[in-house]
Amino acid sequence: MTTFNQFGIKESILNGLKDMGFLKPFPIQEAAIPVLLSGRDVVGQAHTGTGKTAAFAISMLQHIIPKKGIQGLVMAPTRELALQITGEFKKFGKYTGIRTATIYGGQGMGTQLAALAKGVEIVVATPGRLIDHVKRGSIKLNDISHLVLDEADTMLDMGFIEDIQFILDLTPDKKVMSLFSATMPSAILRLSEDYLRNPKHFLLDADDLSVEGIEQAFLIIRDREKMTFLVDFINENKAGQTIVFCSTKHRTRDVARMLLHKTFNIVAIEGDMSQHQREMSMSKFRTGKAEILVATDVASRGIDVPQVALVVNYDVPNQELLYFHRIGRTARAGGTGKAITLVSYSSIGDFNIIKRQIKTEMVDLNKEMNITIKIPDPLKRETPSRRHGVFSKGPRKQIGHSSGRGDARDERSERRVEKKRFRGKRSSNYGLRSRW
């Protein structure tokens, strides 16, 4: 069995790892750390929760010299991920004397200038705010010896490619550089060819989007019934915390409000919240002071909370990769977890696209819970009975299919009145099995 001691890592770093309970490296760490320690560039592909932060953090901490200015730079797509990475660096480097600063938009420039003035050796930053500091001279990149692009595919999707190139062009040619990403689109590979020197590629699980360790399930129901089942699933989750993902900020607020009304201990994260509010919510959830996090996709990356045992997709995501990023919040660091997707009639089309990308069998909760449904035919003129479908408990019937559009008008109407209908009432037909 390979251990971190065999990498020749400094005792101060090993002590930090020991405090965290890290003894045996994960595959991406075992593969990448020796190469980075040798001074060779790395392109690493691994899904969320596989330990890639430690892979680049340990090797960077090994070579950084305290009190010698900024030598390490990590670029991340979101403030949440940047803060998470900083937290990991501080844990790994607890006994090294190496200081790390987080630079991101949404926080006051004065706060960041004060942190930089104290002297730091490593900067973890989002591209836009980093450029602001570079232009005003508060961050200089001429002594960078180690550079990391983390979640490079997300930075590409968010339109950061030109900012990244601008920053890379300002750094020394001689440096150890690594690029880590959950997926490897051609644009990311071209970026690595332009800026990395003879990198070693570690494409772990490149064709596997199943997210190992997660038991995935789905339930096809009417939109207005989602809250009833969500409450039941949360109550059945005795193993740890729950994250509920919604597709819009308005939906997030509504779901959070209804869960609060049912006396759950929850926090929420959505785009209109201030950075301070978002950080407070994440802090409460990360420290276990809140049992449930309700969030938009702003939080689908950058949450590393080992206690998350259940992820519920209250809304089906509109991109298949978002689905995998969402459910990857559970089963962290080799653990196990469950992910349930609540599929309304109008979302069946999007969900079928996602299902085709999943390499493992999903649990059909309609069959597990003996709930049969009859999906309205969008080509027929709607009557009240067709519009609302039929739920019954009895002999199992084949679940129909929808184009994903036929029930959209009715679903919008249901959303307008859903708060009136969610009064904690539960039909006796909806019995959950202990498995879920």
Q: Dump the DSSP string for 298-319.
A: GGSSS---TTEEEEEESS--SS
Buried b (16+ CB within 10 A) or exposed e, 198-209: ebbbbebbeeeb
Q: How far is CA 430 from the centre of its chain?
A: 31
What phi and psi values does residue 309 have, to the nearest 5 degrees?
A: -105, -15
How far CA 382 is from CA of 165, 238, 365, 392, 436, in Å, comes to 54, 42, 27, 20, 34
Under CATH, which number does the domain 4-203 receive?
Answer: 3.40.50.300
Q: Please tell me the class of the 214-421 domain.
A: alpha beta
What phi and psi values does residue 344 have, to the nearest 5 degrees?
A: -85, 165
Return the CA Rg of the chain. 23
Q: Is the Cβ–Cβ distance between 170 and 134 less than 8 Å?
A: yes
pLDDT score of 83 = 93
Q: How far is CA 167 from the centre of its chain?
A: 25
What are the pLDDT digits (tens) for 160-169?
999 999 999 9
Please, which pLDDT band fits residue 406 given cuts at 50, 70 and 90? very low
What are the pLDDT digits (tens) for 238-276?
889 999 999 888 999 999 999 999 999 999 998 788 778
How far, in Å, CA of 16 to CA of 9, rounded?
11
How far, in Å, CA of 9 to CA of 54, rounded?
13
Q: Is the Cβ–Cβ distance between 94 and 19 less than 8 Å?
A: yes
pLDDT above 50 (res 208): no
Least confident span in 137-146, 226-235, 258-267, 403-412: 403-412
Q: How many CA atoms lie within 13 A of 380 on its CB side?
A: 10
Please, which pLDDT band fits residue 47 given cuts at 50, 70 and 90? low
Give the list of residues 6+ apart from residue 412 with CB closer than 8 angstroms, or none: none
Q: What does the domain layout of the chain look like in residue ranges?
A: 4-203, 214-421
pLDDT above 70 (res 71): yes
How far, in Å, CA of 309 to CA of 332, rounded?
9
Helix, strand and coil content of the chain, in percent to the nearest 5, comes to: 40, 15, 40
What are the pLDDT digits (tens) for 264-317?
999 999 878 877 888 889 889 989 999 999 998 776 665 678 789 999 999 998
pLDDT above 90: percentage of residues in the chain: 52
How far, in Å, CA of 133 to CA of 118, rounded?
15
pLDDT score of 131 = 97
What phi and psi values does residue 12 have, to the nearest 5 degrees?
A: -65, -35
Please, which pLDDT band fits residue 204 given cuts at 50, 70 and 90? low
pLDDT score of 261 = 94
How far, in Å, CA of 72 to CA of 65, rounded?
10
Is the pLDDT higher at 173 or at 359? Answer: 173
How far, in Å, CA of 42 to CA of 53, rounded?
13
What are the pLDDT digits (tens) for 104-117?
998 999 999 999 99
The yes-or-no answer to whether 4-203 and 214-421 have a common fold is: yes
Beta bridge partner(s), residue 73: 123, 147
pLDDT above 90 (res 432): no
How far, in Å, CA of 107 to CA of 80, rounded?
12
Q: What is the mean pLDDT of the chain?
A: 82
